[in-house]
Amino acid sequence: MVRKVLLVCGIVSSLLYVATVVLSPMRWESYSSTSQTVSELIAIGAPTRTLVVPLFAAYSVLVITFGLGVWGSAGRKRALRFAAVGMVGKEVLGLMVTLFFPMHLRGVEATLTDTMHGVLTFAGVLFMLLALGFGAAAFGKRFRLYSIATILMLVVGGTLTGLDAPQLAANLPTPWMGVWERVNIYAYMLWVVVLAIALLRTPAERPKGNLGGREHSG
C-alpha cells in the first residue's frame, strides 16, 4: 500500500503542475503562455510568484516521493533505480531553482540568480534524460519506443527553446518560446504518468526466503 501511495504521487504531481501552469496566468493579465516561459511565472517581481512558488515546491516534493516509489518498485531492475535517481536529482535541482534562484523579469538586468537559474535548469534536463533513458529499459518494447519518442521530442523542443534564449535575454520578442517549452514539460510529465500507471499495474517483487513461513531456530 505504501508503494502504491508513493507511485500515485507521480500522477498527482503532473496534474498539479499542469493546473498551476494553466490557471496561474489568470493573475497576470499581460502574460502569454505562447511566448513566455514557465520560469517567468516565478520570476522576481512577477505577480504570480507568491502563488506559483509554493505549488511548484509541492510539485517537486511529490516527484521526489514518486522517485522513492520507483526505487522501491525496482526489484531486480537496476535500470529503474537509475531512473529514480534521475527523477529525484532533477527535482532537487528544480526545488533549488524555485526557492533560491528565480530569474528576473524581462528587461531587468541579469544577476547571479539568473545565471544559476540557467545552469541548474540545464543540469536538471540532464537528470531528466537520465531518467528517461534508463526508464526506457524498465518494460517491454512498446514502452521503450514510447520513451525514445519522448526523448526525441524533448531534444527538438529543447533545441527550439534554446534558439529563443538570446532573444529572451535581450528582451526581444519570442513568439513561440512558451509553446516549445511546454511541449517539453508536458511530454515528460505524460511519461511520468505512464510510468506510474505501469508500475501500479506491476506486482511488487517479494524478496526470496521465508515468505509467510516461520523462522526455525537450531
What average pLDDT does range 81-93 have in this prediction?
96
- d(C-alpha 152, C-alpha 144), whole Å: 12
Tell me how crowded residue 64 is: count the other CB atoms within 10 A of its CB: 20
- Asked if residues 189 and 18 have their Cβ atoms less than 8 Å apart, the reply is yes
- Residue 139 is predicted with a pLDDT of 84
Instruction: Name the residue type at position 5.
Output: V
pLDDT tens-digit series, residues 32-60: 999 999 999 999 999 999 999 999 999 99
3-state helix, strand and coil shares in percent for the chain, rounded to the nearest 5: 70, 0, 30
pLDDT tens-digit series, residues 146-191: 999 999 999 999 999 999 989 998 899 999 999 999 999 999 999 9
Full DSSP string of 128-171: HHHHHHHHTTSS-HHHHHHHHHHHHHHHHHHHHHHHTHHHHHTT
Identify the burial level of 26 via C-beta atoms within 10 angstroms of its C-beta, where 0-12 means exposed, 13-18 middle and 19 or more buried.
exposed
Q: Rounded mean pLDDT of the chain?
A: 91
Between 203 and 8, the higher pLDDT residue: 8
pLDDT tens-digit series, residues 96-131: 999 999 999 999 999 999 999 999 999 999 999 999
- d(C-alpha 146, C-alpha 134), whole Å: 13
- Residue 216 is predicted with a pLDDT of 42
Share of the chain above pLDDT 90, in %: 83
